[in-house]
Amino acid sequence: MRSHSRTFKGTPHVQDFWPSFTDVMSTVAMLLFFLMLLAYIQSIMTGRRLEFFRLELENTRLQLSQTNDDLDVSRLDLDAARLDLNQIRTSLEDTRWILMETEDEIALKAEALKNLEDEIDRSRDAIELGRLQLALSQMEIEAQQDIIDKSNLELGELRVRLSEIAVFRLSILEKVRSSIESAIGKYTEAGEERVAIGPNANIIINETLLFDYASAAVKDDAKQLLDSLAIAFETLLDNQETRLYIDYISVEGHTDAIGAADYNRGLSAERAVSVVNYIMQSNPALEEKYASYFGIGGFSKFRPLAGGDDPDSMAKNRRIEIAVVIKDGSIKDMIDEYLNEAGR
């Protein structure tokens, strides 16, 4: 600057530019140094900052890696949780279906329980009704039992009355047989019973005592027996009380199984006719007074006493039976009399 002053004040001379260039260069060098120093400082600071940033970045990377690991673990946990959630959802869905089914079952059971309660109520009502009906039935049974007891008692008495009729009928036959036996004896010379009472309570006279084989003519040896029979029937029918119960006296002829049925039917009927004709001829008073009480029947071989075909069985089947038939009206009168006495 002084040079500029000298130049400006003194005489003109050649100007020296070097010091100014030196100054400029120094200034530039100092600026460059300063800039370099600044750049160095800045570089140091930037390096430190970069190192800090690098450390921060490394730390961040580590944290990020740790975060990634945690994220992976969390993802695994999330996947496991998702699986658990799916299982829980599935279990909840199953549970929901089970609950729905359970609700349906509960509803059905509730309805069934209600129906059962209704049925129990109906059964209880039916039981109560049954008890009432049972009580009424018991009363009816007791009443019926009283009636049955009275009926049994009455039937017992009626049975006694009816048995008396049977005994009465049998007593008539016994009187006839006793009358015959007292007149001519009980047995023949051959030891045969002249008159027997059969299982059907009929007088049975063996055919051999009355007729020859295949004959309807009364044998002479049988006439005394029939004479006694005619007298016995007259004596029997003379009793008015006895006669009231007698409907008719049936004289029946029976043959064995030998020969044709139509022949045996005719023979059995002819023998019955021969017996009735003889007793009426033997005792005209019997025919005069009581002929209307006698009937005739021929049964051929169809009502055998013995089922065999041996000689003894055949001989038993050839017979004359005399049945005393009691009036049905007499029995009815006896029953009516009994019922009237019983208050019916």
Average pLDDT over every residue of 35-61? 77
Residue 290 has pLDDT above 90, yes or no: yes
Average pLDDT over every residue of 127-147? 83
Q: What is the pLDDT of residue 210?
A: 92
Domains of the chain, earliest start first: 169-341 (3.30.1330.60)
The model's pTM is 0.51
For the stretch 249-259, pLDDT in tens is 999 999 999 99
Residue 204 has pLDDT above 60, yes or no: yes
Residue 301 has pLDDT above 50, yes or no: yes
Q: What is the pLDDT of residue 6?
A: 47
Task: Specify the residue for token string 């005592």.
Answer: 209
Residue 176 has pLDDT above 80, yes or no: no
Report the DSSP beta bridge partners of residue 85: none
Can you say whether residue 10 is alpha, beta or left, with left for phi > 0 and alpha for psi between -120 and 50 degrees?
A: beta
User: How many CB atoms are located within 10 Å of the residue 20 CB?
Assistant: 13
- The larger pLDDT score, comparing residue 185 to residue 209, is at 209
